[in-house]
Every structure is written in C-alpha cells, then in structure tokens.
Amino acid sequence: MWTYDKMLEYPINIRETNTQLAKNIISQYGGPDGELAASLRYLSQRFGMPDQKAKATLNDIGTEELAHLEMVGTIVHQLTRNASIEEVEAGSLAPYYTDHGLGVYPQAASGTPFSASVLAVKGDPIADLQEDLAADVAPLKIQHR
C-alpha cells in the first residue's frame, strides 16, 4: 500500500511555453525508456525476485519512478499549457494536439503510443535486472540550438 503526498517531490515552475522541448520531453514520460515504462518494469519484475528484500527494493524503485512520471508530466504540461495554435504547429505538435489537445499522453517523441511491449519481464532475476540497467542508461537526447 502506498501513501501519496499531494505535492511534487521537487517543485516545478516553468513559465515559458516551449512546444518543441515538450515534444522531446514527452519521450521521458511515455517513451520506451521513460518513467512510465520504468515504473511498470520494476513493479512487474518484483514478483520474480527470489526473496522479500529484493521484492521490496524493486517495489520502492518502481514507486519512485511513479514520482518521476508525475514530475515529467508536470513539465510537459507547463511547457504547453498556454501554447497557441501557432506555437503547437511550430513545435511540430500538431498531430499530437489533434489527438490529445494539450493533455499529457504517454507516447514517444516519434508519436508512438506507450506499449507494454517495451518491457522485458522474464521472471529470471538476472535477466530482469540486466534489462533494468539497459533501460536506465538509455540517454534522453535533446538537440540544443
């Protein structure tokens, strides 16, 4: 069972609209190596761990990833909340906007919706932990201008 404190782990207060940045960051929300995938990966893999301590550790990590999901979703929301149609189009978010408005929807920057097919849950502790490590080192690549 979880206890939810109704506040972000770290405060986020973005005042500028930046739809291009939001388009890139959305992958950290719902992309294959994003926070949604991470939380589900750990929370699912915990069942295959050989002892209660390992299960509890993956449960704690999965819960922490849910907190990250909330923060990333807040970032995307704050970057887009006041966006005009012109800013949406300039940030290449028109297809996203057509389907989701300015809501925060789990998808990759490419537009691919989140899918559980990106998770590897094998029930083998070594294989599962290797997959966790591989997903954690996948960098978020944002082009800076």
pTM exceeds 0.95, yes or no: no
Evaluate if residue 145 carries a pLDDT over 60.
Answer: no
pLDDT in tens, 34-63: 999 999 999 999 999 999 999 999 999 999
Class in CATH terms, 19-136: mainly alpha
Quote the mean pLDDT of the chain.
89
| pLDDT number for residue 4 | 78
Q: What is the mean pLDDT of residues 90-116?
A: 92
Evaluate if residue 143 carries a pLDDT over 70.
Answer: no
Q: Phi and psi (nearest 5°) for 107?
A: -155, 165
More confidently predicted of 120 and 87: 87
Domain ranges of the chain: 19-136
Enumerate residues 6+ apart whose C-beta is below 8 A from 108. Answer: 26, 27, 30, 31, 32, 34, 114
59 and 142 Cβ atoms separated by less than 8 Å: no
Distance (Å, whole) CA 55 – CA 64: 14
Evaluate if residue 131 carries a pLDDT over 70.
Answer: yes
| pLDDT number for residue 142 | 52
Enumerate residues 6+ apart whose C-beta is below 8 A from 117. Answer: none
Burial annotation 20-47 (CB, 10 A radius, 16+ → b, else e): bbbbbbbbbbbbbbbbbbbbbbbbbbbe
| pLDDT number for residue 141 | 52
